Amino acid sequence: MAIDYQERIPNNVDLAENRTLQRALEHWQPHFLDWWRELGPSDFLDVDVYLRTATSVDAKGWATYGTVKMPDYRWGIFLADAIPDRRIGFGDEHGKPVWHQVPGEHRSTLRRLIVTQGDTEPASVEQQRLLGHSCPSLYDLRNLFQVNVEEGRHLWAMVYLLHAYFGRDGREEAEELLARHSGDRNKPRILGTFNEPISDWLSFFMFTYFTDRDGKFQLKSLAESSFDPLSRSCTFMLTEEAHHMFVGDTGISRVVRRTLEVMKELGTEDPAAIRARGAVDLPTMQRYLNFWFSSSLDLFGAENSSNAAGYFATGIKGRPDEANYPDHLCREGSFHLERPDGKGGVSEEDVPLRNAMNEVTRTAYIRDCEIGVKRWNRLIAKAGYATELKLPSERFRRGIGVWANQPVDPEGRIISAAEHQAKVPSWIPSESDGAFVKSLMQRVAEPGKMASWIAPPERGINNLPVEYEYVHLH
Ligand code: BYC
């Protein structure tokens, strides 16, 4: 395959000069495209979409807009600009020069983290692959596809690291990233949330708000890494991640706004009446929020983790915004944890701070999640209603860590197993909630028109009007 590398694969990693990397990518790229055709938004291969493509890392190039067919999207490889004389920012090697190659002793740990990060990217594309059929507007359809192609690019970013720094093992892992599939019984994706189906747009907005936000915090942690190519890859990925969270945040806001309009119009908060008018009642939204928030909390790993302590000590993975902390060694401190005592109560313990790094990051994530919830609640309050959306307790519905599989209610109270079982359907989406939400998912494909359950966005993309034909379906 003759490729004009800079044109076909925009990059700032000297791809045109690196024959080994070219060979690895030449082998992998056709498999990626096959995967995209089969498990990406497969019924939309021929449609023209108004997309943003990163063609360089500077302010001009990172968001180049134009109309493309998705299989022709130019998935590029970018590292944020190098920081001259960058030093390790935390852990036992604090202050020493960062690594430009993989230290032998950290090879398998780094590979595992890069593979875990990389695995989530195609997983999310697989999860969302059928949503295009039920888009609430062309504006939303375009945003879905933007998110999808960028997750594809984030996969490329991790595959680049595997190919460029991990030799044969890396090439094998890159193939495996296309062989595991979301929800596949025999070869599932690595992390739990990425095997959950996303079969409606309310789930998509919750996922892009809560799960992409885990992406933000994990990428920030990896951006602190002493392995400089990983750090620079993740720093650039964060610029794209911001749009994905915007899609989630504004998506949920727009659903709330439409629901409030219907509540006003009907003069009732009765879920049945709101549903009959084709909008999503707030209690249903709360159940979707409970589901995706609790699932995303698991993505931070266990509260007390020797893996996390090891990553910190060796300088492999830090805390998000490490520079903001006064102590970068964390040899002394401890973290106060609560755990179930096995007798229906709670016991407390202090764990060494390094072991609690997952919890430190999860705590920062929860604070960040609250910002959107407050904004949605302001909309509700402004419309004159007392209902509030709320993040459930971090103990609720956990599958990982000390609270895994505990009978806990959304307030964090430990209850009996029988009560828990009886009440779960009122806390997370029931089958009938799913069927109702799915019944709303009818494709709206006329420029500027919105589905009955969602308000229009405040503005279009890249200063274009909301009515712009962002996707040419015909
Ligand atoms: N599901 O010691 P622990 C994103 C495993 S999202 C299943 O607590 P550790 C995106 C864990 O792997 C960001 N398994 O783990 C968003 C470990 O297994 P091994 C993705 C889980 O290492 C939207 C074992 O349990 N990036 O970018 O401290 C769209 C022991 O646990 C789960 C990353 O995750 C789970 N939820 O922390 C697109 C960053 N949680 O290794 C993209 C890379 C834990 O003993 N990954 N386990 O077999 C990591 O930093 C760490 O692997 C984790 C886990 C934070 C995930």
**pLDDT at residue 223, as a whole number:** 98
Distance, C-alpha 383 to centroid of its chain: 31
CA–centroid distance, 139 to ligand 1, in Å, is 33
| Ligand 1: nearest atom to the Cα of 222 | 39
How many whole angstroms separate alpha carbon 28 and alpha carbon 25? 5
How many whole angstroms separate alpha carbon 220 and alpha carbon 317? 9
Mean pLDDT computed over 431-439:
97
Closest to 218 in 3D by CA, of 12, 79, 357: 357
Question: What pLDDT digit, counting tens, does each position of 291-333 carry?
Answer: 999 999 999 999 999 999 999 999 999 999 999 999 999 999 9
Nearest CA to ligand 1 atom 19: 307
Q: How confident is the model at residue 451 (pLDDT cuts 50, 70, 90)?
A: very high
**Residue 191 in contact with ligand 1 by CB distance below 6 A:** yes
**pLDDT at residue 2, as a whole number:** 55
CA–centroid distance, 120 to ligand 1, in Å, is 10
Closest to 335 in 3D by CA, of 354, 322, 316: 354
From the DSSP assignment, how many helices (H) and strands (E) are in the chain?
Answer: 14, 5
**Residue 211 in contact with ligand 1 by CB distance below 6 A:** yes
* Start-end of H helices in 190-314: 201-206, 212-223, 228-266, 271-276, 282-297, 306-314
Q: Assign 13 to helix, strand or coil.
A: coil
CA–centroid distance, 400 to ligand 1, in Å, is 10
Question: What pLDDT digit, counting tens, does each position of 334-374 carry?
Answer: 999 999 999 999 999 999 999 999 999 999 999 999 999 99
Mean pLDDT computed over 388-393:
98
**pLDDT at residue 273, as a whole number:** 98
**pLDDT at residue 53, as a whole number:** 94
Q: Concatenate the DSSP letters of all residues of 69-126 into one string.
A: EGGG----B--PPPPTT-B--SSTTTTSBPBSS--GGGHHHHHHHHHHHHHHHHHHHH
Task: Write out the E strands in 296-371.
Answer: 334-340, 346-352
Question: What pLDDT digit, counting tens, does each position of 244-258 carry?
Answer: 999 999 999 999 999
Mean pLDDT computed over 24-38:
95
**pLDDT at residue 58, as a whole number:** 87
Distance, C-alpha 397 to centroid of its chain: 19
Question: What pLDDT digit, counting tens, does each position of 193-214 carry?
Answer: 999 999 999 999 999 999 999 9
Nearest CA to ligand 1 atom 21: 191
**pLDDT at residue 63, as a whole number:** 87
**Residue 304 in contact with ligand 1 by CB distance below 6 A:** no
Mean pLDDT computed over 49-59:
92
CA–centroid distance, 307 to ligand 1, in Å, is 10
**pLDDT at residue 430, as a whole number:** 96
Exposed, middle or buried by CB within 10 Å (0-12, 13-18, 19+), for 378? exposed
| Ligand 1: nearest atom to the Cα of 306 | 2
| Candidate of 191, 238, 305 to mutate for ligand 1, largest count of ligand atoms within 8 Å of Cβ | 191
What's this model's pTM, rounded to 2 decimal places?
0.97
Are 148 and 125 a contacting pair, CB within 8 Å? Answer: yes
